[in-house]
Amino acid sequence: MREFQPVRRLRTSREAAIAGVRGRQPPVSGRGGIGEPPAGPPTRTLPYTLVITALVLALTAAALAALALGSVRIPTADVIQILTGNADPSPYRTIVLDVRLPRVILGAAVGAGLAVVGTTLQALVRNPLADPFLLGVSSGASAAAVSVIVLGVGAGMATTVTIPAASFAGAFLALLVVYALAREPGGGFTTTRLILAGVAVSYVLSALTSLILVVSARADHLKEVLYWTLGGLGSARWDMLALPLTVLAVGTALLIALARPLDLLLVGEEGATVLGLDTARFRAGVFVLTSLVTGVLVAHSGAIGFVGLMVPHAARMLVGAAHRALLPVAALMGAVFLVVADLAARTVAAPQDIPVGVLTALTGGPFFLWLLRRGRAREGAPA
């Protein structure tokens, strides 16, 4: 019973949004459906093509819903007509194509990217409680981005370049620091050390962000920065999508290609070494890749938490822990999750646009506590 609660929670949060199409989707949460105990140990997995097909359908449905719903309701038939280019110019057309579509695409990209990065970081530290947000990587990216906005670092260059570049650097440095702090002398990562290091680094970086703000407070900066600290997709525009989409595509493709060495990381440092992996070099490469993806995404969406924590976990329950199968599923699930979460963020308190990071934290916080409890129960259980 317990095993499935978070999945149910995750589905409930998007229930309203996909209510209209849910009946047509194959169940995503396990063979038994919602609320039933899993039909076997988590190693028993669903047929892979079924999972991928279901997720692609779910993403399509979520995207259509996100294009149709909002402060202005647009009939789905009209949305499809607009998308296929058969509609006359109209206000609907502008809303769908210029306001909602770029936002849906950015949401899908950020969700997919955070899920892929979360999956990778969890392999890197061999702990299911890793997430770019919890490990301070996102905070590093936001702090660096805010410095660029407020302090005018790199003034003169286009902010479309300087902000993502700074975010990447900030993410990379934060990850290095947390990794160094959390690592046991023998090379292991206990949950306690990992979380403490992540929380400490996040706090220092948030404080730094606040300090920069207070010292050089300008009203327009405050609003922009608040947006970063909460995480939102409201600024999505067509002309800013190229960079995040490129980085996401390249980063994900590379990580899927690296599935074999990522699997090797799961058996520990010594295990990976004796199986022929140059762990130091590979780890350095993965640091750069994950920081790059996180940094560029955070530069466009702010720090959205817990997607990289919840999604990899759910994906592992579906297809197991081997990365060649896991990463594409995690990417698709992350995309679906964030598109739906953002739709909820736009609609639950309409016309207020709640930052989507607030919603993901509302679902992710309890999930995190559940994982922590479950981990403790397992550690306490006899071997």
Number of residues that bind other proteins (CB under 8 A): 32
Distance CA 162, CA 299 (A): 10
For residue 378 the two structure tokens come to: 């397992």
Supply the minimum distance, in Å, between the C-beta of residue 184 and other proteins: 13
Task: Closer to other proteins by CB, 20 or 375: give it.
Answer: 375
Task: Closer to other proteins by CB, 15 or 270: give it.
Answer: 270
3-state per-residue secondary structure call for 201-240: HHHHHHHHHHHHHHHCCCHHHHHHHHHHHHCCCCCCCHHH
Distance CA 224, CA 208 (A): 16
Site string for other proteins, 3-42 (x = CB under 8 A): --------------------------------------xx
Choose, by CB under 8 A, the member of 258, 340, 341, 345 that binds other proteins.
258
Using CB under 8 A as the binding rule, whether residue 383 contacts other proteins is answered as: yes
Using CB under 8 A as the binding rule, whether residue 333 contacts other proteins is answered as: no
Using CB under 8 A as the binding rule, whether residue 263 contacts other proteins is answered as: yes
H or E segment at 64? helix 48-68
Choose, by CB under 8 A, the member of 217, 250, 275, 372 that binds other proteins.
275
Task: Closer to other proteins by CB, 103 or 316: give it.
Answer: 316
Segment interacting with other proteins (CB under 8 A) among 55-63, 97-105, 109-117, 120-128: 120-128
Choose, by CB under 8 A, the member of 137, 148, 264, 297 that binds other proteins.
264
Q: How far is CA 216 from CA 147, 166, 213, 228, 342, in A?
A: 10, 19, 5, 17, 31
Task: Closer to other proteins by CB, 227 or 282: give it.
Answer: 282
DSSP annotation of 155: B
Distance CA 286, CA 148 (A): 25
Choose, by CB under 8 A, the member of 34, 278, 350, 365 that binds other proteins.
278
Distance CA 237, CA 203 (A): 31
Site string for other proteins, 74-93 (x = CB under 8 A): --------------------
CA-closest candidate to residue 204, choices 115, 270, 268, 139: 139
Supply the minimum distance, in Å, between the C-beta of residue 51 and other proteins: 16
Please report, in angstroms and rounded to a whole number, the separation of the first and last CA atoms in the chain. Answer: 22
Using CB under 8 A as the binding rule, whether residue 128 contacts other proteins is answered as: yes
3-state per-residue secondary structure call for 329-343: HHHHHHHHHHHHHHH
Which residue intervals of 183-321 are DSSP H helices? 191-215, 219-230, 242-257, 259-265, 269-274, 279-301, 307-319
Q: How far is CA 327 from CA 50, 94, 112, 307, 331, in A?
A: 16, 35, 9, 14, 6
Supply the minimum distance, in Å, between the C-beta of residue 247 and other proteins: 20
Site string for other proteins, 294-323 (x = CB under 8 A): ----------------------x---xxx-
Supply the minimum distance, in Å, between the C-beta of residue 122 and other proteins: 8
Choose, by CB under 8 A, the member of 38, 268, 366, 375 that binds other proteins.
268
CA-closest candidate to residue 364, choices 55, 10, 110: 10
Task: Closer to other proteins by CB, 147 or 252: give it.
Answer: 252
Find where tokens 């297809």 sit: 319
Choose, by CB under 8 A, the member of 34, 161, 211, 274 that binds other proteins.
274
Using CB under 8 A as the binding rule, whether residue 342 contacts other proteins is answered as: no
Binding site for other proteins (CB under 8 A): 41-44, 122, 126, 128, 257-261, 263-264, 266-268, 270-271, 273-279, 316, 320-322, 324, 383
